[in-house]
Amino acid sequence: MKKKVLLVVMDGIGFSTSGIGDAVGTANTPVLDKLLANYPNVRLKAHGDAVGLPSDDDMGNSEVGHNALGCGQIYSQGAKLVNESISSGKMYVSDSWKEITENCVTNNSTLHFIGLLSDGNVHSNIAHLISMINQAKKDKVSKVRAHILLDGRDVPATSALEYIQQLEDALAACNDASFDGKIASGGGRMKVTMDRYQAEWNMVKIGWDTHVLGLGKQFATAAEAVESYRAELGVIDQDLPAFVIAKDGAPVGKIADKDSVIFFNFRGDRAIELSMAFDNDEMPYFDRGSRPDVTFAGMLQYDGDLKLPKRFLVNPPEITNTLSELLIANKLTQYAVSETQKYGHVTYFWNGNKSGKFSETLETYKEIPSDRVSFDERPWMKSADITDDLLAVLASEKYDFVRCNYPNGDMVGHTGSMDATIVGVESVDLSLARLMKVCDKHGYIMVITADHGNADEMAEKNKKGELQIRTAHSLNPVPFIIYDKTTTYSLKEGAFGLANVAPTVAEIFGLTPPSCWEASMLQK
């Protein structure tokens, strides 16, 4: 029988190294336990230099993880890409940077920065923002406003005041008779601006109203806003409502005609929709009111196929020679499925940051709409629906390579709810049981892995040694398992990362991978 492969990405499910807050180890996972005990498996590195990030202190994420899984190579990514551009000075001599700053100097207008204020290195880094503020002053920009999205997801859940103070200190160091820098607005990342995959456009509208129009609850400072909301609502940083900084009842930083705007996030998925609001003439998703005529740029181009945004500061990695391209070159059919929250990861990011298919005839994509509720309220998410779809697809025996993503370990893990995350992990385990049966019947080899850890480390100790909720990704390794009832595979010993998955899949198919790929993990 011709070999066919199902690749399952258990998003956010890794191996705990601390034993603290381990929802994966606590969950009842008889299927995963059986696979690890009886079938070939290794642990993969899914963070730091294994996925192109600056150091091993940098946690992996779903975007760089799926890039590495899908292309078999390691590219400079995210923070590392921007770090290189800033340290070399390349960013500040780019045409886009010159357009942004010269527009402000010529029109005596304001340069606005919008983005996630933390050093999580997943969506952004506060060091990049501070560097750009300092450079803007050197380039004779006289007025800067920062519109800050508070994290509590890739960094400790209630760390916002630390980052606000860092930014306030940086602005104070720049402020003088020739320069005026202030924080103008903000809000939690899961309430304001940073929607993705067009799942909740109202988040973007709230961001637009807050950052651009200056509409919303007013406070004298960002710190006052955070402290007031915490006392009133008892929520962590990512869930803080929108706020506007005002003086004498007037917003200090509305965005106006002839201003410049930089979205300083480098990760694309949660930056695309606000970029559409600034760049696109047509906006059917919400009423922008009086749309200001601004010079807008992103840190990166968030969607290369859509050319969005049109202007960007740092060129993204040009990822070529992906697994999808190799399979198509060998006339193998492919199917990709996930729910909305991770659909882009098994398509766009998997294919090297490309929105379109490589072949309309050989590839099929399926998006299952996500529920619009908090993930801890429905932690099984769409795992059953994804599995139902896969069972039909595998039974059809139409596709040579099928890939899917179960988002539960990541998306539920980010809520900080241990009980809900355990249910999410157990939902994925139930799905594996159903998939094993249909793989046996229809001749599929099931390859199981993850893109990064999260649910495996739901708590951490603070500086006082006290346990606190952890909502960020972990630095833990993730599984790689080969399940096949008819063939026995052996895996090499050694240090492997996510980029070793594609060459291993290629070898299972009997294909010769490009010479630029990492090594296969199969023992010949």
State both tokens at 163.
Answer: 């980052």
Classify the phi-psi angles of 353: left when phi > 0, otherwise alpha if psi is within -120 to 50, otherwise beta.
left
Rg (CA), the chain: 23
Known active-site residue 520: no
- Paired residues of 146 in beta bridges: 113, 183
Three-class SS state of 411:
helix
Which of the following is catalytic: 16, 62, 85, 370? 62
Cβ-based neighbours of 102, under 8 Å, separated by 6 or more: none
* Site of tokens 């929709």: 273
Distance CA 215, CA 205 (A): 11
Distance CA 151, CA 164 (A): 11
Identify the CA nearest to 427 among candidates 408, 411, 410, 454. Answer: 408
* Site of tokens 């969607």: 303
Distance CA 54, CA 49 (A): 6
For residue 40, whether the previous peptide bond is cis, meaning omega lies within 30 degrees of 0, is no
Distance CA 418, CA 295 (A): 44
Handedness of CA 297, 303, 305, 306 (dihedral sign): negative
State both tokens at 208.
Answer: 């637009």
Q: What are phi and psi of 328, to 5 degrees?
A: -65, -40
Residues annotated as part of the active site: 62
